[in-house]
Structure 1
Amino acid sequence: MSSLMKGTAILTIGLFLSKLLGLVYIFPFYAIVGEENIGLYNYAYIPYNIMLSIAISGLPIAVSKFVSKYNAIGDYDAGRRLVKTGALLMIITGFIAFIIMNMLATPIANIVIADDEQMFTVEEIANVIQWVSYALILVPFMSLVRGYLQGYGHFLPTSVSQLIEQIARIVFLLGGVFIVMNVLEGDPVTAVNVSVFAAFFGSIGGLATLFYFWKRLRPEIKAVQVIAPKEHQLPYSTMYKEIFKYAIPIVFVGLGSSLFQLVDMLTFNRAMIAGGVSAKLTDTYFTMLNLLTQKIVMIPVVLATGFSMAIIPTIAKFYAQKDIIQVRVSMDKTYQILLFITVPAALGISALAEDLYHFFYEQSEMGTQVLSHYAPLAVLFALFTVTAAILQGVEYQKWVVFSLLVGVFTKTVLNTPLIKMWSVDGAIIATAIGYGVTICINIAVINKVTDYKAKIIVRRILLIFILTGVMILAVLITHFVLTWISPADTKVLAFIYAAICAGIGGTIYGVISYKLGLAQALLGDKITKIARKLKLVK
């Protein structure tokens, strides 16, 4: 395996595990603090994620590209000077981001609280936003170090530090909340403040991991560094201009879902109240939409993009070699793998929404409805991530920025009137249309650049939807029979029913797609070995 592919694999695995942990911790957290209080956590994390993306999301890749580029031409001093000045800059950036978020906490809270009868007060929301902002002090510096080490071909420090950061955050979060609620018998608001402060504790864990790797790798890095004479040194203005050129499009990709959630955060409550929904319910509905159901829906997205994103470096390589035919072949495979996994998973979640919401959270008619209607958007979330990555691979990053801004603008314009008309479903529809617009722009640009024709993929997509339809029919029939025998009135039964239905549906989908040759065409010969081990085929 080439060093590029090996590095990409290490980063993908680390990111996948980190994201997966970032999805599943919400379930025990919910069990400790309850539905009424977890919404406060959601109000803190949406602005935090946006500020975090602006501060750091493009930095590791940008610094990595810069350092590796200049190392390749023998200018090791450029990377040394970047990390030396960048360290101070990132510390200053972290403090500025911390101060800005603290200053914006109360204005944001005033927008969110549309009525005195809502579940939370302006002060409570402002406080929780301020508590989460401490993590912004350390994270930019940490991102700089990750990018610098990646530039020297060391991808393991980034992958391991991301994982340790997430584990430390979750351990502190769950442990701290449990102690506040059950040992100290404190109030839920204090528990939620502790939970968001866990992001700062996690960043300490990630930074400590990077420090360990830095000590090990520093002799190797210093051995190749030679301080260049002043007249041969790259100007700082040129250096940082190049870094920002790399980083800005990546920042926008990282901002994607957070910007859509921010639109909901700033408009949802007021639109719901204007539409006749009680102010006492709007916080709960918002939490269901943008936290609880979103965590479940993102699980298949992470799985699907993990499979398909592994092909993106190949697309970038073929495009750099001007091998457009292989670019198209790789794109075909990327789209098909993505849809092959995401479509049945998303529609399966929608079909089993009642049992899944009951098992992960509690029995709720409204929660079931939101999850059922929101789940199909997983396909759009995955398509956005992959099409944006392809645009970066073919060096058309500026279009990512443009398409995302158009999509968010579309969501902003439609959100309030649609929520007034259809309540929570209005917000879901606005999100679907916004993402749809963004994806259409991305695909149009990709097709134009690569002269891509989607004849094969259209037939495959149709086949995937037909197979998914057969699978969903089997799932619904199975679920009907099970609930007719005994309603799923406990979490254990809800889990058993969901597992049985998912198992039957997945087996039917897998066997038929294997018999038709679709699984082998997309996932390779390894799928045959797996099928034989499971005794699904001879």
Structure 2
Amino acid sequence: MANKIVKGTLILSLAILISRLMGALFWVPFQNIAGDEIVGLYKASFPFYSFLLMIASAGVPLTVSKFVSERISKNDHLNARRVQTAASIILTITGLVIAAILFFGAEFIATTILEVPATKMSLQVLAITIIFVPSMAVIRGYFQGYQNMMPTGISQVIEQFFRVITMIILIYYLVKTGASAEVASAGATSGALFGAIAGLLIVLGYQFRDKREWRKKVQEQPSTEPEPIGGLIKKILIFSLPITLGQLVFPLIQLMDSATVPRILQWMGHSPSEAITLFGIYGRGEPFVNLIQSFSTAISLTLVPAITAYITKKEMDAVGRTISQAWKMTYIMSLPMSLMVTMLASPLNIMMYKDAKGAFPVAVLAFAAIFSTVATASTGILQGMGHNQIPVRNMLIGGVVKVIGNFIYIPIIGIAGSALSMVICYLVICILNMWAVLEKSQAKVKLFRLFFKPTLSGIIMSIGLFFSYYVLEHFVFDAAQLTDRVLNTGISIGLGILGAIIFFLALFLTKALDESEVRLMPMGGRLLPILKRLRLVRG
């Protein structure tokens, strides 16, 4: 089981990393070609789509993975597939209903709720996308229940590839031909539609290929009574509702950001055009945060079926070990990347967006990823244990903190105030989720031992990066050179590599990892003998 968790996490981590990298790198040509106004329209339209997509499908795929895991733990492959059938019926209906609401209500949403009429066409394109995404999500959840993460990983990469390619081609063509900002934004959002269709075709291919193997497993299993589809639909709806409510919180927060941040900026004296442009600049930090969160997303998806299987078999010691490893590995992956983005916010902004306008908001927002990754992993643990309501409550509390923070901090420090309130939001959720995990699992986790040495390694890395950049800024290059995009690309990549080397050297020199934790890392099995000879790893 442990090997399956490691393998599944690595597959999903790699796939999500590639997907998020494509998404992050896409912003470079997108922002350069489109400009901040079109980016602002694009960013304003997506939260409402994400919110409705969550209503259409959010909790069901995760529920499918849990229910499938429970049944295959009892060698019941027949009803594992019936779980998928029941979920598909649910999401086909909800997907069509939600898509119709968004498509025909796009004008009302754009003009009355968002107060950005130019988002109407983008919302209608995204409405069509909702028809395809839920079906893809159900099939992914089915394979995740078997702890086969390959279909999810491959389909995510293909989905993102087609999304990015379509968006770049269309935005280039539309801007070049003089299309309006409204039409150009709609063209960009259509990438999500083409990506969803491509991803769905991939998982359908995996399902078709799996058919023969599944039939063989059903023939070999003990005689089993088929569960009624109606009963499964009811169970899935009951179990998935709290998960759906929980996953609705952050799209709702993004929606509130779209509705409140431009208004607050206008109250401060900015014109509507300036407000939406500043909102687009704030969005520069999201690709970095999404990239960092990719690891916790992968860990969370593998944790739910794994912890469900451990609890089904009453292996509580394994649950405790899994909790410790999940928290530590998530923190070790997110901490250095978040700190690097904060320390290198200026050169990263020039590298990706040609100027450093968004440097301060990006530097602040990067800290949110530290807390959000651990919070996401904790959510997966709680859902695996069957405590779906707890993350919902905690995320709602965090959502309230975020909205209140917008009204407090944006008037004080401008658009970076939205980033600061996001950091506080995730910090609150992280603390509440971790507390709940410890309380419900009764696991004996030594938090100081878990986080102290990685934190120390992060501080050492930050000091090294600070002095390295200070030397480059004051003694190597002049002010004019430091605005050059190619130079800042080299600085960002070079210091990023240096930061990673410093962090992992500090991690091993402080003996922050034991042998089992090293094995969880990419190429950990090959590194372990060398680290043991150098006495840089605990037994």
CA gap of 1:412–1:186, structure 2 versus 1, over 3 A, is closer
Summarize the alignment of residues 57-456 of structure 1 with structure 2, pairs less than 5 Å apart.
57-67=58-68, 69=70, 78=79, 87=88, 89-110=90-111, 122-148=116-142, 155-182=149-176, 184-221=177-214, 234-252=227-245, 254-289=247-282, 291-303=283-295, 306=298, 315-364=307-356, 366-452=357-443, 454=445, 456=446
CA contact (8 A) 1:263 1:411 kept: no
Rounded Cα–Cα distance in structure 2 between residues aligned with 1:521 and 1:72: 29
1:30 aligns with 2:22: no
Displacement, 1:78? 4.9
Query: Structure 2: which amino acid aligns with 1:357?
Result: N
- State the secondary structure of the residue aligned to 1:376: helix
**2: distance between equivalents of 1:520 and 1:225?**
41
**Aligned match of 1:39:** 40
Give the equivalent residue in structure 2 for 1:229.
none
Which one of 510, 518, 522 corresponds to residue 516 of structure 1? Answer: 510
Alpha-carbon contact 1:58-1:248 (below 8 Å) kept:
yes
Aligned 8 A contact 1:263 1:412 in 2: yes
CA RMSD of aligned residues (A): 3.4
Decide whether the 8 Å contact of 1:260 with 1:431 is kept in 2: no
Deviates more, 1:168-177 or 1:379-388: 168-177
Report the Cα distance in structure 1 between the residues aligned to 2:102 and 2:487, rounded to whole angstroms.
44
Deviates more, 1:522-531 or 1:353-362: 522-531
Which residue is 2:222 aligned to? none
Distance across 1 between alignment mates of 2:80 and 2:381 = 27
**Aligned pair in 2 of structure 1 residues 507, 331: CA closer, same or farther (>3 Å)?**
same
Say if 1:313 and 1:515 are closer, same or farther in 2 by CA, change over 3 A: farther
Of 493-502 and 207-216, more deviation after overlay is shown by 207-216
CA distance in 1, matches of 2:15, 2:491: 32
Aligned counterpart, 2:461: 471
State the partner residue of 1:501.
495
In structure 2, the CA distance between the partners of 1:426 and 1:179, relative to structure 1 (3 Å rule), is: closer
Moved more, 76-85 or 22-31: 76-85
Inter-partner Cα distance in structure 1 for 2:507 and 2:145? 41
Distance in 2 of aligned mates of 1:81 and 1:464: 44
Shift of 1:41: 1.0
SS of 1:517's partner is: coil
Q: Normalized against structure 1, the TM-score is what?
A: 0.85
Gaps of 5+ in 2: 220-224
| C-alpha displacement of 1:492 | 0.9
- How far apart are the structure 1 equivalents of 2:114 and 2:91? 33
Provide closer, same or farther for how the CA distance between residues 303 and 210 of structure 1 changes in structure 2, counting only shifts above 3 A: closer
- TM-score, normalising length: structure 2: 0.85
Residue 119 of structure 1 is matched in structure 2 by none
SS of corresponding position for 1:292? helix
Shift of 1:129: 1.4
Contact 2:59 2:240 survives alignment (8 Å): yes
Task: Verify the 8 A CA contact 1:128 1:193 in the aligned structure 2.
Answer: yes
Distance 1:344 1:532 in 2: 25
Deviation per residue, 1:121-174 (Å, 9 max, x gap): x33112221222110112223333444566677654443333322222222222
Q: Within 2, Cα distance between the matches of 1:283 and 1:248?
A: 34
Question: Number of aligned pairs?
Answer: 521
Counterpart-to-counterpart distance in 1, 2:108 and 2:513: 52
Q: Partner letter of residue 356 of structure 1?
A: L
Percentage identity across aligned positions? 24
Q: Distance in 2 between matches of 1:61 and 1:435?
A: 22
1-structure distance, mates of 2:336, 2:148: 37
For 2:383, give the aligned amino acid.
Answer: Q
The answer for unaligned runs of 5 or more in structure 1 is 115-121, 227-231
C-alpha separation in 1, matches of 2:381 and 2:83: 28
Correspondence for 1:490 among 484, 493, 499: 484
Identify the residue that residue 55 of structure 2 maps to in structure 1.
54
Q: Distance between the aligned counterparts of 1:224 and 1:313, measured in 2? A: 19
Q: What is aligned with 1:117? A: none
